Structure 1
Amino acid sequence: MDRSTLSAFVSVIGAKAVILLVGILSTPILVRLFTQTQYGDFAFVFSLFSLLMIVVSSGVGDGVRKFLAEDADVDHWEQHVVGFFFQMALLFSLVGAALLVLGGYFLSGRFFKPIFQTYFIVLGILVVAAQFNNFSRRVLMGFGLERISEPLGVLDRALLWIIGLTLVYFGFGVTGLLTGFILSGTVVSVLGIVAVRDRISLWALFTPTPSGFPKREFMTYNVLNVALILLLTSLYHVDILMLQPIGGSGTLGVYKGALKIAEFLWFVPMAIQSVLLHSTSELWSKDATEEITQMATRTTRFVFLTTALLALGLGALADIVVPLYLGESYTPAVVPLLILLPGALGFALARPILAIGQGNGAMKPLLLATGTAAVINLGLNALLIPRYRMIGAAVATSVGYGSMFVFHAITARHIGFDALADIRPVALFVTVTVSGAAIFGLNAALSQPYLRLLVVPPAGFAVFTALTILTGAIDERELAPIFDRLPVSLSS
């Protein structure tokens, strides 16, 4: 990464670390305030909402980031880009909200419990709040202002959990938690739009896009990106939507707990993915393919190492972590969690590669790769869930997740960069194998659960880090930009 990209990444990963910590602290409270049925209801309605938001929001958010980052010889380019996507965001959010409210009115009582009508009305309001929360922060990222957009993301998550958990505690259930989403999103939307006033006039948000502006290119990117993200997100919502009517909300609640823990593996990859789309858009516009390949292959190695370390730790300590984190009633989530971990690692590797491809704008190959993985995921879930319930869902989803890396690594070469050019497979294999043996061996040697929690993570981290350097999986030259950002007393 160059210095500007590294600076953006540091801002993003710092914010995501705080968001992760807030989530880690809040989720155990939530699952204890909810019954497993309520948690299953929330997982189901939120999956429906997330899939709708892909259509409503993904093309808008990624589009404004991509095109703001590109150099264009057009007068008032930035103002017109923001204005065009703002108007699109407004239209899409209103249509999405109407669909949810009408869907709740006609479907609740016939296909869902009566309470779902209330859920759908609240979700309709949430669509608008979430749209402009996402839009305002993506505009800031497009301008390279991660130092503002990421703290706003932290504020959003903090307000969400403070307000949402308070309302759940006082008996408002799923509706109360969704209301927390609405209020936090509204606050962040207003602050984000105020923060961007220094870059563009707010009148630009409502100014018609002039003729001759590449609106067709914007719309094409939007449509293809929506299709891409819809396929991508189906990988981690199809299992939930299919398991609920077959296994019930209680089983879904347990399975959702396993998914929640497995998703911890995506912390670093999602931070990198957030930065790479608009960072590489600029490089693609300059035809800097060699620099893109170098960035991609280093990122792939870095993501593999950090994610594999987390997977090893969670795998070894799953029997302690799950009941301690979610409660004893969620102990059945241990097995699906162990099944999900290898696939979650593969999905983690695919995320940065996907972002670089999006920055190029070559959407059709990305659609083919993601669509193939989504079809595999859907087919396996349909085959395995009726017979094996959440274990079948875990197997199907893990295979679908893992296939993403294979297909996108192949697609990357077609697009014009090689994410595996300097992958160093022997070094990675030795690092992970020896570290895994040490982590699982030490874990087996200790009998006391809390002693395992205290000893295994730091010891495993120390062994893994030492092997990473000794094997050459990461060398000093690649660590230099990171050390340059530390105080002199530390970097020395």
Structure 2
Amino acid sequence: MSTSKLVKGTFLIIIGNFIFRIGGYIYRFLMSRMLGPEGYGILGLTMPFQGIFQILAAGGLPPAIAKYVAEYMVLDKKEDARAVLYVSMKLMILLAFIFSLVIFFTSPWIACNFFHKPNAILPLQAVALILPFSVIVGVFRGLFQGIYKMEYIVVTRFVEQVGIIIFAAILVVLGFYVVGAVIGTALGFLVSLIASLIVFKKYLADDFTYPKIDFKKEIKIAKMLLNFSIPVILAALSEMAIYDIDTFLIGHFLPTIYLGYYSAADPIARLPLVISISVATAALPAASEAYSLKNKKLLEDYVTQSYRIVMLTVLPICVGIAVFASPVISLLFGSQYVPGAEPLRILVMGMTFYTFFVVSSSIIQGVGRPSLPMYILFFGTILNFIFNWFLIPIYGMVGAATATSSATFIIMLISMFKTFEVTGVKPPFSAFTKIIIASLLLGIILSFLPKTIFMLILMVFISPVIYTIFLMVLKGFEEKDIKLIRKAGRKMGPLAKYIDKIANILEKFIS
């Protein structure tokens, strides 16, 4: 695998995650207006439970599928790759059945005893309908990731998001209120499952027929998968806690309407994760292959480029969101949600820190150290809970955002240090510094502009030019960046000559 394959995979997953996020924003946009702050607050309370129980039902197995399928395919052990796929599917179907029952029967206690919101019982119980469909979709996406068919992930994500939006909107209009929004999500995963089966049967069924393995070997494979996936699932649960402890404790300490405001700020703050998760998805099998082949130079390229791609793209986006928090939240959710702008300014910086942890975690998993992210996240979860518990009663939503951002900053530092340690790669401090300075300079300019929706839209188009100029002056581009720009430009038809001219200009300012 070459660096260009990593970039191609990252680009495709960015498209898929962009579709997922945009679809998520459209869903939230519609639901926030159709349900109002109170109803949207209840929906915001169910969303973390959707994520938590989807992780539990999946058993942490999709990353394990991706890792072992990628490893066995590159080593030409196709029968083992098939075995991994089908054993994983059996495990995940069993877990989905168990946890569907758990969430259904525990929902009354959770809604009434912890959140003191009885109207959340039915929406929480409806989460049980999502799990059977979502886990099987997870099996196929783990396979697609492992064989580096990221375009299949893009297709199934698109179908999923369209289905969720359409079904949820119809059910809410029909009078099912918050329960309808949750059931719409279940139906979206159902159509995504159908799309995954169609793709699998058409393109992969011949290569991934059911393997001839006995029960003892199935048990052996299951143990191998669980040894890898248990740290992954614990890390994923801790990741959900990093995301959602603030939401849970706001639901515990504050009235539902504040939960509605914070639930509007939270998805906007997570926008940078579109890029980091995309890079991480491509980096895991890439790092696994490089590590398996003992190719130190290739591993070093993957690690440094993964961080640079995230830093180049994420930092200016986060700066822009922080500066234009009020018009951003007003544009996406309406003026009645503007009280969420203050926590958004803080929370988006916390999610910036978290993006670097996501990439670090994926690289560490790819080189066979899945327990490290688990330990780091577990530590961060404890910190996040403590910070939120004490700050929310005093500072409300701003306290929640501050607590989460402080915890993510700490785990970012620890995870990046450990990534460079376990891979033996030296951090490119000079490259990082230039990108940080360019982003801060952009933020200073934006801070002097009027905070209106018109100016926000205008700066969406102008800011990239300003940021690029700062990077050019600081010599923040590298030779490999220019090569990638030229390669991409050659595939853009009539735009190719203009892309090449831009590359020629940038080439004069490389470090």
TM-score by length of 1: 0.92
Shift of 1:19: 3.1
Residues 87 and 205, structure 1, Cα contact 8 Å, conserved in 2:
no
Shift of 1:380: 0.4
1:137-286 aligned within 5 A: 137-197=141-201, 198-200=203-205, 204=210, 211=217, 213-286=220-293
1:287-326 aligned within 5 A: 287-326=294-333
- 1:200-220 per-residue CA deviation (whole Å, 9 max, x = no partner) reads 467628975553854432221
1:382 aligns with 2:389: yes
Matches of 1:478 and 1:209, distance apart in 2 = 50
Residues 56 and 92, structure 1, Cα contact 8 Å, conserved in 2:
yes
Residues 300 and 419, structure 1, Cα contact 8 Å, conserved in 2:
no
- 1:396-420 per-residue CA deviation (whole Å, 9 max, x = no partner) reads 0111122221011111133224372
The aligned counterpart of 1:391 is: 398
The aligned counterpart of 1:124 is: 128
Task: Assess, with a 3 A threshold, how the Cα gap between structure 1 residues 433 and 119 changes in structure 2: closer, same or farther.
Answer: closer
Task: Assess, with a 3 A threshold, how the Cα gap between structure 1 residues 24 and 223 changes in structure 2: closer, same or farther.
Answer: closer
- 1:110-151 per-residue CA deviation (whole Å, 9 max, x = no partner) reads 655444442243211211111112222222222221122211
More displaced 10-residue stretch of structure 1: 454-463 or 203-212: 203-212
Residues 370 and 407, structure 1, Cα contact 8 Å, conserved in 2:
no
Residues 58 and 229, structure 1, Cα contact 8 Å, conserved in 2:
no
Task: Assess, with a 3 A threshold, how the Cα gap between structure 1 residues 208 and 450 changes in structure 2: closer, same or farther.
Answer: same
Equivalent residue of 1:35, what SS? helix
Equivalent residue of 2:303, what SS? helix
Residues 60 and 222, structure 1, Cα contact 8 Å, conserved in 2:
yes
Q: CA RMSD in A?
A: 2.4
1:98 aligns with 2:101: yes
Residues 70 and 282, structure 1, Cα contact 8 Å, conserved in 2:
yes
Shift of 1:491: 3.6
- 1:289-331 per-residue CA deviation (whole Å, 9 max, x = no partner) reads 3322222222212212211111221122222222232122211
Shift of 1:33: 0.6
Matches of 1:335 and 1:114, distance apart in 2 = 29
Task: Assess, with a 3 A threshold, how the Cα gap between structure 1 residues 36 and 419 changes in structure 2: closer, same or farther.
Answer: farther
- 1:15-60 per-residue CA deviation (whole Å, 9 max, x = no partner) reads 2233333334443222111121211111112212312222221511
Matches of 2:440 and 2:158, distance apart in 1 = 36
1:415 aligns with 2:422: yes
The aligned counterpart of 1:135 is: 139
Matches of 2:382 and 2:188, distance apart in 1 = 35
Task: Assess, with a 3 A threshold, how the Cα gap between structure 1 residues 425 and 484 changes in structure 2: closer, same or farther.
Answer: closer
Matches of 1:266 and 1:251, distance apart in 2 = 24
More displaced 10-residue stretch of structure 1: 299-308 or 389-398: 299-308
Partner AA of 1:204 in structure 2: Y
Shift of 1:363: 2.2
Residues 66 and 277, structure 1, Cα contact 8 Å, conserved in 2:
yes
The aligned counterpart of 2:471 is: 468
Equivalent residue of 1:211, what SS? helix
Residues 384 and 392, structure 1, Cα contact 8 Å, conserved in 2:
yes
The aligned counterpart of 1:18 is: 19
TM-score by length of 2: 0.89
Structure 1: stretches of 5+ with no match in the other structure: none
More displaced 10-residue stretch of structure 1: 424-433 or 187-196: 424-433
Matches of 1:107 and 1:400, distance apart in 2 = 26
Residues 292 and 417, structure 1, Cα contact 8 Å, conserved in 2:
no
Task: Assess, with a 3 A threshold, how the Cα gap between structure 1 residues 369 and 69 changes in structure 2: closer, same or farther.
Answer: same
1:43-122 aligned within 5 A: 43-57=44-58, 59-71=60-72, 72=75, 74=77, 76-104=79-107, 113-122=117-126
Matches of 2:168 and 2:148, distance apart in 1 = 31
Task: Assess, with a 3 A threshold, how the Cα gap between structure 1 residues 416 and 43 changes in structure 2: closer, same or farther.
Answer: same
Equivalent residue of 1:294, what SS? helix
Matches of 1:30 and 1:52, distance apart in 2 = 22
Matches of 2:317 and 2:54, distance apart in 1 = 29
Shift of 1:224: 1.2
Shift of 1:105: 5.5
Task: Assess, with a 3 A threshold, how the Cα gap between structure 1 residues 359 and 309 changes in structure 2: closer, same or farther.
Answer: same
Shift of 1:377: 1.0
1:427 aligns with 2:434: yes
Task: Please point out which of 480, 483, 501 is paired with 1:480.
Answer: 483
Equivalent residue of 1:362, what SS? coil
Matches of 1:461 and 1:361, distance apart in 2 = 37
Aligned length: 488
Task: Assess, with a 3 A threshold, how the Cα gap between structure 1 residues 17 and 49 changes in structure 2: closer, same or farther.
Answer: closer
- 1:246-297 per-residue CA deviation (whole Å, 9 max, x = no partner) reads 1022111111111121111222112111211122211121122332222222
* Percent sequence identity over aligned pairs: 16
Matches of 1:210 and 1:240, distance apart in 2 = 44
Partner AA of 1:199 in structure 2: L
1:373 aligns with 2:380: yes
Task: Assess, with a 3 A threshold, how the Cα gap between structure 1 residues 311 and 113 changes in structure 2: closer, same or farther.
Answer: closer
1:27 aligns with 2:28: yes
Shift of 1:474: 2.0
Equivalent residue of 1:236, what SS? helix
1:336 aligns with 2:340: no
